[in-house]
Amino acid sequence: MTEIRVDLLIIGAGSGGLSVAAAAAQLGASVVLLEGHEMGGDCLNWGCVPSKALIASGKAAFSQGHSKHFGISDVMPNVDYSAAKAHVASVISQIAPVDSQERFEGLGVRVIREFGRFVSAKVVEAGAYRITARRVVIATGSRPFIPPVPGLREVPWLTNETLFDLEEKPKHLLIIGGGPIGMEMAQAHIRLGCKVTVIEGQKALGRDDPEMASFVLAQLRKEGVEIAEDALASRIKGLAGTIVVETEDGRHFSGSHLLIAVGRQANVERLDLHTAGIETTGTGIAVDADLRTSNRRVYAIGDVAGGAQFTHVAGYHASVIIRSTMFGLPAKARTDHIPYATYTDPELAQIGLTEAQARKTYRNKVSVVRFEIRHNDRLITERNAKGLVKAMVVNGRPVGVSIAGPQAGELINLWALVIANKLKMSSVAAMVSPYPTVGEINKRVAGAYFSPQLFGSSTIKRVVGLIQRWLP
């Protein structure tokens, strides 16, 4: 067995692990990166990248049948599902070199394509290698959670890890799970000519502001997606092409294909964490505010750390631990400034507290500012001015923003900057946006916050009246 001693060992070459590896190697540390599966992890190969590529195919098909308002005749799109999947594969291959073994070896990282497991508190074995590291970063990510529904193991089913390999267009796609993955894939497939039924045990898009979620769900239903809520799957039966999902309340849903999208679980089983004295929770590895595990030499970042499961969170975690592992400086992870988006059409985006959460936390100290997207001139020109922005403001500072509408994922970026830097609404109001842009919406939200204070105040009106009398 080959012995290796290194400054930093990273287990997992997904978004978080790659970010740490690149930064540490370029800062001069000796780095070993272990990856037993695909470089780039879930996001590149089975998650963010392929799903957004397929959504783009669906959007292109949808636009062909909805162009008459622009003076262009609607046509029935001719969808080649296999070609759409080839588009997905092409997108992945275009991005893959950035995450490749060759690139990281070029940066000075030693890449070993093996799974790793702890054999002591500071030693990891991976294939024929035995690695002793000053610090270890676990970035093994997560995988789809498969619910213990009776009959599921006896029928063919898909997850996000197998869906994008499917070249035959599903005649009727059943989706168990009405969260972001389920709803994104539901809309993409209905637009590509499939029949789609979403089966959700509680409420679809249930973690989002209900008002915002209802706006999105209404559009999906309008496009033909059947969304069954409060429909907890109790039994699954059938064969390929004829699958039946039964729910606890007696409903039956039949389809040709089944996609499981009910959440994710952390990848910890291969690691032998107990050998290293690393504690786990029901959602992943237990970490403190600086992302250290119960073994002080070991950090956990991204999905495996048991918090929000987003690629950008893993990247943020990487930036936090670089400060402590490379420079020995204190660094703690925050959560209040982390945005997320669901890429349906219209999109959903959220940062900080929802309206309900803000009212519960701050009671009468919170102001909820609303701006209807129908007032944005750029989106009016594009016949797409529908949606809503809500900003929850306490003492002049936003503590949460919810957006439902076109480009919500882009619009939330400004609020991420504002909340991360603890800026006030006055900073947004001071911004000058080019006209006409979608980004003007955020400035108008700030204007909606200040308008009652400026234009609804009798005191200000009296002061202005006095000034007008004295001005030359």
pLDDT of res. 173: 98
pLDDT of res. 455: 66
| Residues counted in the chain | 472
Q: Percent helix, strand, coil in the chain (nearest 5)?
A: 40, 25, 35
Pair 142, 42: CB distance under 8 Å: yes
pLDDT of res. 423: 98
Cα angle 349-351-354, degrees, rounded to a multiple of 5: 90
CA distance 295 to 103: 31
Taking only the tens place, the pLDDT of each residue in 366-422 is 999 999 999 999 999 999 999 999 999 999 999 999 999 999 999 999 999 999 999
- Pick the closest to residue 339 from 350, 325, 331 (CA basis): 350
Pair 348, 416: CB distance under 8 Å: no
| Fold match, 2-142+265-327 / 152-263 | yes
pLDDT of res. 462: 75
- Give me the CATH code for the 152-263 domain, please: 3.50.50.60
Q: How many CB atoms lie within 10 A of CB 418?
A: 24
- Pick the closest to residue 289 from 347, 334, 232, 238 (CA basis): 334
- Give me the CATH code for the 2-142+265-327 domain, please: 3.50.50.60
Pair 214, 191: CB distance under 8 Å: no
- Pick the closest to residue 355 from 344, 343, 342, 369 (CA basis): 369
pLDDT of res. 56: 98
Positions of the chain with pLDDT under 70: 454-457
pLDDT of res. 456: 65
pLDDT of res. 407: 98
For 27, the 3-state DSSP assignment is: coil
Pair 398, 419: CB distance under 8 Å: yes
Domain residue spans in the chain?
2-142+265-327, 152-263, 339-455
CA distance 55 to 183: 11
Pick the CATH number of 339-455 from 3.40.47.10, 3.20.20.70, 3.40.50.970, 3.30.390.30: 3.30.390.30
Taking only the tens place, the pLDDT of each residue in 119-148 is 999 899 999 999 999 999 999 999 999 999
Taking only the tens place, the pLDDT of each residue in 339-355 is 999 999 999 999 999 99
* pTM for this entry: 0.94
pLDDT of res. 451: 79
Both structure tokens of 159? 């997850």
Radius of gyration over every alpha carbon of the chain, rounded to an integer in angstroms: 25
DSSP assignment of 344-399: SSSEEEEEE--HHHHHHHHGGGEEEEEEEGGG-HHHHHTT----EEEEEEETTEEE
pLDDT of res. 469: 76
